[in-house]
């Protein structure tokens, strides 16, 4: 599996699970909330451009998802294109953008923009996307952006700028953060530069802390020699768990349970343990939610699966024993109830 395949696999899985959640984890609950968040992002982008844009501009969104930001931008520009590594996101974008024929979306490799000719866009932007990519993929995009951007065009970029932070190459959602010096150098290497000195705040990579979502305006300084060869860092552990992926699945499942949608929470936890069977707490969480919903037998089956996969996991064995004991008690109790009920009927029949 190469990095393109890995990004496709993971993002398709997320899009099939709940696209709105994985695009806007804080604003996914209803279509209206989600749409409003797209309006807010589009406005922030236009404000960052400070009136520099023209309606005739051709616009490219890299990592467009289902078109959350493209939709509100559609009334400002004559032609917009969105690309995404995930075919499942693109499939859903067709519905989300069905009323906007001048907005097109397509699935791409996730590592280049080979579908587009040189100088074919006036504005390229990307939001909460580059932060999830391995550094070499981001650099390849910068090379490609230089190629597809008009000499007078702009790149409007959102990227956490702050302390250096990286995660393994195969982690397709963990957040990377770039020191200012590194990002300036990478832009420079690819014929690009900030229009204004960016204001940098300390950026957190903890998902529970807000991090920098500001847009930065970048211009093209000179063309660079096209170089499409990529020395990809091989994926050593393609199925290595991503802590942020797991934390977000858990968060979503918890939200579901709290809002009374337990079956959706159960479905999510089931897909989490299928994807990451080594995530032991996920199994316990699944069994707990099943139990809360009186699905004792399913909870037992879940723990039996866990203990078969991880026979030395003592906590798993202990929980399984407790569940079996609970079932025994329930069966005995319901047998007694049944007997009392039967006796009651018999007594009534004969007295």
Is there a contact between 64 and 93 (Cβ–Cβ < 8 Å)? Answer: yes
Q: Residue with structure tokens 């906007």?
A: 100
**With respect to ligand SAM, which residue has the nearer C-beta, 10 or 266?**
10
- Among 80, 89, 103, 320, the residue binding ligand SAM under the rule CB under 6 A is 89
Span 130-149, contacts to ligand SAM by CB under 6 A:
132-133, 137
- Among 49, 69, 269, 299, the residue binding ligand SAM under the rule CB under 6 A is 69
State the minimum distance, in angstroms, from the CB of residue 304 to ligand SAM: 35
**With respect to ligand SAM, which residue has the nearer C-beta, 9 or 304?**
9
- Among 63, 160, 162, 265, the residue binding ligand SAM under the rule CB under 6 A is 63
**With respect to ligand SAM, which residue has the nearer C-beta, 64 or 73?**
64
State the minimum distance, in angstroms, from the CB of residue 76 to ligand SAM: 16
According to the binding rule CB under 6 A, does residue 72 interact with ligand SAM?
no
- Among 42, 49, 59, 128, the residue binding ligand SAM under the rule CB under 6 A is 128
Which of these segments, 61-69, 145-153, 311-319, 331-339, binds ligand SAM (CB under 6 A)?
A: 61-69
According to the binding rule CB under 6 A, does residue 175 interact with ligand SAM?
no
CA distance 242 to 167: 9
Which of these segments, 49-57, 127-135, 195-203, 243-251, binds ligand SAM (CB under 6 A)?
A: 127-135
State the minimum distance, in angstroms, from the CB of residue 34 to ligand SAM: 9
**With respect to ligand SAM, which residue has the nearer C-beta, 128 or 284?**
128
According to the binding rule CB under 6 A, does residue 23 interact with ligand SAM?
yes
State the minimum distance, in angstroms, from the CB of residue 165 to ligand SAM: 17
According to the binding rule CB under 6 A, does residue 157 interact with ligand SAM?
no
Task: Count how many Cα atoms sit within 13 Å of the Cα of residue 127 in the half-sphere of its side chain.
Answer: 24
**With respect to ligand SAM, which residue has the nearer C-beta, 23 or 273?**
23
CA distance 81 to 105: 6
Is there a contact between 42 and 72 (Cβ–Cβ < 8 Å)? Answer: yes
Chain positions contacting ligand SAM, by CB under 6 A? 7, 11, 23, 62-65, 68-69, 84-86, 89, 110, 127-129, 132-133, 137
């Amino acid at each position: 599996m190469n990095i393109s395949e890995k990004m496709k696999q993971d993002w398709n899985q997320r899009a099939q699970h709940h696209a709105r959640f994985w695009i806007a984890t804080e604003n996914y609950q209803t279509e209206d909330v989600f749409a409003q968040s797209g309006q807010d992002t589009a406005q922030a982008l236009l404000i960052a451009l400070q009136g520099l844009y023209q309606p005739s501009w051709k616009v490219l969104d890299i990592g467009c998802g289902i078109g959350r930001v493209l939709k509100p931008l559609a009334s400002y520009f004559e032609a917009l294109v969105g690309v995404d590594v995930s075919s499942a996101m693109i499939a859903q974008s067709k519905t989300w953008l069905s009323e906007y024929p001048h907005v097109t979306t397509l699935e791409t490799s996730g590592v280049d923009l080979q579908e587009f000719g040189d100088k074919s866009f006036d504005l390229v932007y990307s939001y909460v996307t580059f932060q999830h990519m391995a550094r070499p993929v981001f650099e390849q995009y910068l090379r490609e952006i230089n190629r597809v951007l008009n000499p007078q065009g702009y790149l409007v970029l959102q990227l956490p700028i702050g302390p250096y932070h990286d995660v393994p190459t195969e982690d397709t959602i963990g957040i990377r953060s770039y020191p200012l010096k590194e990002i300036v150098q990478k832009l420079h290497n690819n014929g690009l530069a900030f229009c204004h000195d960016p204001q940098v705040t300390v950026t957190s990579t903890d998902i529970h802390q807000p991090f920098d979502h500001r847009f930065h305006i970048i211009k093209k300084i000179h063309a660079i020699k096209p170089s499409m060869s990529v020395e990809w860092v091989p994926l050593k552990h393609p199925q290595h768990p991503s802590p942020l992926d797991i934390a977000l699945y858990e968060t979503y499942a918890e939200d579901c349970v709290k809002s009374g949608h337990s079956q959706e929470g159960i479905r999510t936890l089931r897909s989490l343990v299928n994807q990451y069977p080594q995530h032991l707490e996920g199994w316990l969480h699944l069994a707990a939610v099943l139990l809360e919903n009186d699905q004792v037998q399913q909870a037992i089956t879940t723990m039996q699966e866990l203990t078969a996969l991880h026979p030395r996991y003592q906590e798993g064995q202990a929980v399984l024993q407790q569940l079996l004991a609970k079932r025994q008690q329930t069966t005995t109790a319901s047998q007694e109830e049944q007997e009392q009920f039967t006796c009651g009927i018999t007594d009534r029949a004969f007295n």
